[in-house]
Amino acid sequence: MKTEIFVMTHKECLVPDVPGYIRLQVGSELHDDLGYMRDNEGDDHISDLNMYYAELTGLYWLWKNYNDADIIGLCHYRRYFINDEKKPITMDEVEKMLADSDIIVTEAEREKNRTENPMYKAVEEAIKVLYPDDLEAYKESCNNLIGTFGNMLVMRKSDLDKYCEWLFSVLLEAGEHIDLTRCDMYHKKMPAIVAEELLGVYVNSRGLRAKKCKAGLFGEKKETTELKEALKLLMKQDRYAEAFELYNGVMKQRPDLTLPDADPFGELRKIEKELMSKMRKEI
């Protein structure tokens, strides 16, 4: 049996020194080649839609183009399933977990009032048309504060193919009825965010045996690091007005960069306070 976990990344990154982890560059159609496996190889891919589908362009590529493993997993360049020792799980551990389970997922607290975004309604309408038997499971999931996150999963390839057929039919149908082009960069990714909801819906509505595994965060988001370094350089040169303008400009497009998941050490929020204080003194 061959088991592989694909690390979705759009930046250069390290992977655990554990056999079976493979870097997959997502959004490859839009960016320079990092030298990793790419999600635009082959005739059937959605790599150019990465600004909307995030890590799901990698999942789509695996569904349509990859058949070299019996078990396939998806994680992120800084977020992994972890074992009791807080280390990324091994392929042997994966196979043991799936011996009496259908899927490995993670669990997390969800934000309240998340269904107010129109993408959730568009997905609800798509399910109503395509899979009406799953509608109640979707509504229940949207009202539940506990659920899977990050679209992280590990499944047998045959099961993953069935899930992807269901997932992308829903998302592509919903996408026909909503315009995300004018959203900021964060909210453009609503299809990927709502997909976190849909994974739980699929598991519950299909009665899959789910093994819940802890997830560990290793480092901060690359964009957070890049912004933080640029701001520190400007501030060191006493160019506070430029730093303030840069910070506000980025925040208009990426308000998520100050969230705990992206900025686990809270450094950007500290920089923001320093910038605000400095600008008030200069007014």
Asked whether the beta carbons of 104 and 81 are under 8 A apart, the reply is yes
Question: How many C-alpha atoms does 29 have within 13 Å on its Cβ side?
Answer: 17
Give yes or no for residue 62 having a pLDDT over 90. yes
pLDDT tier, 141 (very low <50, low <70, confident <90, very high otherwise): confident
What number of other Cβ atoms are within 10 A of residue 18's Cβ? 15
pLDDT of 154-186, one tens digit each? 999 999 999 999 999 999 999 999 998 888 888
Crossing angle (nearest 10°) for helices 190-205 and 135-142: 120
pLDDT for 131 equals 98
For 111, phi and psi rounded to 5 degrees? -75, 145
DSSP per position, 209-277: -EEE--EEE-S--HHHHHHHHHHHHHHHTT-HHHHHHHHHHHHHH-GGGGSTTT-TT-HHHHHHHHHHH
Provide the strand spans (E) within 40-143.
71-76, 79-81, 103-105, 108-109
Domain boundaries, the chain: 3-217, 222-282
Residue 275's pLDDT band (boundaries 50, 70, 90)?
confident
Please say if the pLDDT value at position 112 is more than 60. Answer: no
Is the confidence at residue 113, as pLDDT, over 60?
no
Nearest to 80 by CA among 1, 168, 177, 13: 13
The per-residue pLDDT for 111 is: 62
CATH of span 3-217: 3.90.550
Record the tokens describing residue 46, joined without a space: 């959605």
Percent of the residues in the chain that have a pLDDT greater than 70, as a whole number: 96
pLDDT (0 to 100) of residue 282: 66
